[in-house]
Amino acid sequence: MFEALQNIDEVRLNFSPEGLLFMNITLAFIMFGVALEIKTDNFKNIFYNPKSAILGVISQVLILPGLTFLLIIIMNPPPSIAMGMILIAACPGGNISNFISALARGNIALSVSLTAFATITATLITPANFAFWGSMYVRYYQNVNHLNIPIEIDFLQMIQTVFLLLGLPLILGIWFSNKYPEITKRILKPVKISSVIVYLIFIFGAIYVNLEFIPTYVLPIAIFTLFLNSQTLLTGYFVAT
């Protein structure tokens, strides 16, 4: 089954410049909608429970990417899959983490605080984390396989891109919600619904134009995804307990 992944680094997905522009606008719009819900009260739990908050931040920023790097060494996926796993581990947790915390009867207030903090700091932490662990993987891969892989991580370019896609929409969203609270209440639900619809349109569109690759690669990639997600959930559980 994993033999199918041997040539995955040679695959070029069908993304036109217009498609990439639509993706970037979609991400920025989603982050603007997320920012509309971020209030100063979301950060109170960090000060009320500093030990739990610090442990949560360390888990997200250090432990999860580190364990993901270890998982990559054990499973030895192709470089493109490995870099994708590192990128996922470097990204902040979203609102779905709050939903899972509610299902698990966890500390929802702490989860909301950590989500808000991770979202606000993602402009710097995500590029830094990805650059660090990505560079570590490149050096590891080259030493183990005695090969050079053409992966260059431009940290400054990454910060610029993340700021435009995450930082700027977050700043505008938080400013708008505090400046116009009544308008925010009226537009919040339509913005959230619109975000989901636009996001689904992009996902299904991306699948459609790359349909030729789905049968070959979806199952082995799903297995790597399952291991990564299982590790993430188990890490959160054992660190919390």
Residue 227 in tokens? 């291991």
Domain presence at residue 96: yes
Residue 66's closest CA among 155, 129, 118, 114? 129
Report the distance separating Cα 165 and Cα 45, nearest Å: 27
Domain presence at residue 207: yes
CA-only gyration radius of the chain, Å: 19
176-204 mean pLDDT: 87
Residue 140's closest CA among 226, 71, 239, 56? 71
Domain presence at residue 39: yes
Which SS3 state, helix, strand or coil, does residue 51 take? helix
Domain presence at residue 169: yes
Domain presence at residue 2: no
**What is residue 39's predicted lDDT score, i.e. its pLDDT?**
72
130-146 confidence digits (pLDDT tens)? 889 988 888 887 776 55
**What is residue 226's predicted lDDT score, i.e. its pLDDT?**
92
**What is residue 198's predicted lDDT score, i.e. its pLDDT?**
86
* Residues near 28 by beta carbon (within 8 Å), at least 6 away in sequence: 164, 165, 168, 169
Report the distance separating Cα 42 and Cα 132, nearest Å: 29
**What is residue 85's predicted lDDT score, i.e. its pLDDT?**
92
Return left, alpha or beta for 99; rule: phi > 0 is left, psi -120 to 50 is alpha, else beta: alpha
Domain presence at residue 6: no
Domain presence at residue 5: no
* Residues near 9 by beta carbon (within 8 Å), at least 6 away in sequence: 78, 79, 80
Rounded to whole angstroms, what are the CA distances from 203 to 82, 159, 222?
Answer: 22, 25, 16
Give how many domains the chain has, as a whole number: 1
Residue 234: Cβ within 10 Å count: 11
Would the pLDDT of 157 be above 60? Answer: yes
**What is residue 149's predicted lDDT score, i.e. its pLDDT?**
52
Residue 196 in tokens? 């989901």
Return left, alpha or beta for 105; rule: phi > 0 is left, psi -120 to 50 is alpha, else beta: left
The whole-model pTM stands at 0.73
Domain presence at residue 147: yes
Question: Residue 61 belongs to what domain range?
Answer: 15-240
Residue 196: CA count within 13 A, CB half-sphere = 6
Residue 5: CA count within 13 A, CB half-sphere = 17
6-29 confidence digits (pLDDT tens)? 677 666 777 777 777 888 888 888
Rounded to whole angstroms, what are the CA distances from 150 to 6, 79, 80, 118, 182?
Answer: 16, 10, 11, 30, 51
CATH number, position 127: 1.20.1530.20
